Amino acid sequence: MTEGLPQILKALDFASHRHSAQRRKGTRKLPYINHPIQVASLLANEGNETDPVLIIAAILHDVIEDTVGSVEERSILMAEISSVFGEEILALTMEVTDDKTLDKKVRKQLQIEQANHKSERAKKLKIADKITNLRDIIIDPPDWWTNERILEYMNWSEKVVDGLKGVNPELEKLFFETLSEAKNKYSVQS
């Protein structure tokens, strides 16, 4: 991965500027940039992934989805990512980006339906993203989420990951261990 280190650092810089005003949903309101860094770190350190394209896309995975408001801004940002990081990274980033013009329920259902049609890289990234989100729910859930809402998220994420399996046994095992931990924590409180 050392051959991709300059681009990885460039992606960190790029994403940190884009996410600078955002906070995570948890009660601690941590800087949002922590999330893509955690996803990339999980892929590299726990999933043993060394593909720089995958790591860079992990860092950028929420930039388009969560930092622009209009279709025009989205197009401009996509062109910028293509120019700075190349078409391959843009394509992978777009593959894991939800279309925010769609209703939230539709987007969530599409994640389930399209999971098994994703590329291998996208599947790995999505699994790592779900693991990181579950870890956040265990440690610092959004204060307005009820136990019912948390359990709904867990059940939904399991359906998504069921369609992503077969790409990285370590990540899959880690997802189901984390899911079990989360279910144990919140089932007790239900």
The residues annotated as belonging to the active site are 65-66
Q: Can you tell me the distance from the alpha carbon of 145 to that of 78, in angstroms, rounded to the nearest whole number?
A: 32
| Alpha helices per DSSP H over 86-168 | 87-95, 104-114, 120-139, 147-162
3-state secondary structure of 23: strand
Q: Is the dihedral of CA 135, 137, 182, 188 positive or negative?
A: positive
Count of alpha carbons within 13 angstroms of residue 75, beta-carbon side: 3
Q: For residue 10, how many C-alpha atoms fall within 13 Å in the half-sphere facing its CB?
A: 13
Determine contact, residues 93/102, Cβ cutoff 8 Å.
no
HEC string of 24-48 equals: CCECCCCECCHHHHHHHHHHHHHCC
